[in-house]
């Protein structure tokens, strides 16, 4: 198993010698390696069992450093960076050749983010290279929001996990770029689209893989538990699965079901708060997935605030468009 702790010096030494380290961010934990080292980047793909056509996000701690590896910073994206960095926003920017092809899967843009978690920012400030980091989960599974999630799945393959507690936002970053002049969201995430529109005006959302060659990693079935995951009206689903005699668990937005064992249900927010639900989502999906049940029943949230991004993840878990 990996060592787990808060030793930034150890994390730095390992990264400088080409090793991978799991890092906490406010969105989810990342599996980090030196973004300028093709060998370290190759190790990331191998450890995650991630197909090489799915490019990585490059993390750094200042806009000056971003300028070292992007050719230009188009104005509307710069405005978003100024307002929302550090934070749960990833920008697709024209890349310089200093970024290895493997990081971008040969695309002419590079995905860049300045995360806000203080431990990871301190680490980035000490390094003289940026960190490539996908979410620290095996490809296709639910992203980790706690150090223990990383350890459970990747602990045997990495030397160190920097422990920054539970991720505050709990959903991956919102990915934004340009289609021509049009600001475009390629992945719904921890930064609400309305907040983006408040700065740059109306944006288009192209967050599904089938219509979205530009974000190759956005496969329909993703963020998925190993158990079948069914979405619908929970009262009806519970009735239906009881009749079928199947053992199920329930993931609800804000309800508790008195006729079900407490052990078999998780409510994402007692106060019907979509932000709190986002923070709890992935840990709840993992917990239910580890129970001895044959199916997980769930429901969609209201499409407001982070509800829209949570619903995107729930639909991907259920593998429906």
Site for ligand TXA in 220-279 (CB under 6 A): none
Q: Which of 197, 138, 199, 135 is nearest to 169 (CA)?
A: 135
- Rounded to whole angstroms, the Cα distance separating 66 from 121 reads 14
Residue 117 labeled ligand binder: no
User: Do residues 10 and 160 touch, judged by C-beta distance below 8 A?
Assistant: yes
Q: What are phi and psi of 313, to 5 degrees?
A: -70, -40
- Rounded to whole angstroms, the Cα distance separating 320 from 317 reads 8
Q: What are phi and psi of 107, to 5 degrees?
A: -70, 160
Q: Which stretch binds ligand TXA (CB under 6 A): 7-15, 76-84, 127-135, 152-160?
A: 127-135
Residue 174 labeled ligand binder: no
The residue number with the shortest CB distance to ligand TXA is 217
Q: Which is nearer to Mg ion, 135 or 269 (CB)?
A: 135
Question: Least separation, in Å, of the C-beta of 301 and ligand TXA?
Answer: 19
Q: Which of 22, 28, 310, 314 binds ligand TXA (CB under 6 A)?
A: 28
Q: Which is nearer to ligand TXA, 86 or 155 (CB)?
A: 86
Q: Where are the beta strands (DSSP E) in 114-260?
A: 131-132, 160-162, 174-179, 182-187, 204-205, 229-231, 248-252
Q: What is the DSSP letter of 240?
A: H
Sign, CA dihedral 43-49-55-57, equals: negative
Residue 252 labeled ligand binder: no
3-state secondary structure of 183: strand
Site for ligand TXA in 43-72 (CB under 6 A): 54-57
Under the binding rule (CB under 6 A), the answer on residue 107 touching ligand TXA is yes
Under the binding rule (CB under 5 A), the answer on residue 215 touching Mg ion is no
Site for Mg ion in 127-186 (CB under 5 A): 135
Count interface residues toward Mg ion (CB under 5 A): 1
Sign, CA dihedral 231-237-238-242, equals: negative
Q: Which is nearer to ligand TXA, 60 or 90 (CB)?
A: 90
Q: Which is nearer to ligand TXA, 216 or 302 (CB)?
A: 216
- Rounded to whole angstroms, the Cα distance separating 39 from 80 reads 32
User: Where do runs of H (alpha helix) occur along the chain?
Assistant: 8-16, 38-48, 63-69, 75-84, 101-104, 118-126, 147-154, 193-200, 234-244, 274-289, 307-317
Q: Which is nearer to ligand TXA, 186 or 248 (CB)?
A: 186
Q: Which is nearer to ligand TXA, 28 or 288 (CB)?
A: 28
- Residue 162's Cα: distance from chain center in Å? 17
Site for ligand TXA in 131-190 (CB under 6 A): 133-135, 172-173, 175, 186
Q: Which is nearer to ligand TXA, 170 or 307 (CB)?
A: 170
Residue 133 labeled ligand binder: yes
Question: Least separation, in Å, of the C-beta of 79 and ligand TXA?
Answer: 20
Question: Least separation, in Å, of the C-beta of 301 and Mg ion?
Answer: 21
Pairing of strands 160-162, 21-23: parallel
**Footprint of Mg ion on this chain (CB under 5 A)?**
135
- Contact residues: ligand TXA, CB under 6 A: 25, 27-28, 30, 54-57, 90, 92, 104, 107, 109-111, 113, 115, 133-135, 172-173, 175, 186, 214-218
Binding site per annotation, positions: 27, 50, 59, 109, 113, 133, 135, 143, 173, 187, 223
């Amino acid at each position: 198993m990996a060592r787990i702790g808060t030793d930034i010096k150890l994390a730095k030494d390992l990264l400088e010698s080409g090793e991978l380290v799991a890092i906490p961010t406010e969105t989810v934990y990342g599996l980090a390696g030196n973004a300028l080292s093709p060998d370290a980047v190759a190790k990331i793909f191998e450890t995650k069992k991630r197909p090489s056509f799915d490019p990585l996000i490059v993390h750094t701690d200042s806009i000056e450093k971003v300028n070292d590896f992007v050719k230009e910073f188009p104005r509307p994206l710069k405005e978003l960076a100024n307002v929302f960095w550090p934070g749960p926003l990833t920008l697709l920017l024209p890349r310089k050749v200093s970024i290895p092809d493997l990081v971008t899967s040969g695309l002419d843009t590079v995905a860049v983010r300045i995360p806000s978690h203080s431990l990871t920012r301190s680490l980035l400030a000490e390094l003289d290279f940026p960190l490539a980091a996908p979410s620290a989960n095996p490809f296709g599974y639910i992203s980790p929001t706690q150090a223990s999630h990383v350890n459970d799945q990747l602990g045997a393959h990495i030397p160190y996990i920097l422990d920054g507690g539970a991720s505050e936002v709990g959903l991956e970053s919102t990915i934004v770029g340009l289609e021509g002049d049009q600001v475009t969201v390629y992945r719904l995430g921890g930064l609400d689209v309305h907040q983006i529109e408040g700065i740059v005006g109306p944006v288009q959302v192209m967050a599904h893989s089938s219509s979205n060659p530009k974000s190759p990693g956005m496969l329909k079935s993703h963020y998925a538990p190993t158990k079948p995951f069914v979405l619908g009206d929970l009262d009806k689903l519970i009735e239906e699965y009881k009749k079928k005699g199947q053992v199920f668990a329930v993931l609800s937005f804000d309800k508790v079901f008195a006729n079900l064992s407490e052990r078999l249900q998780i409510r994402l927010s007692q106060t019907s708060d979509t932000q709190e639900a986002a923070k709890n989502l992935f840990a709840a999906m993992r917990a239910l997935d580890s129970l001895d049940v044959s199916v997980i029943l769930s429901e969609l949230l209201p499409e407001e605030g982070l509800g829209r991004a949570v619903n995107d993840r729930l639909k991907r878990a259920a593998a429906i468009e």
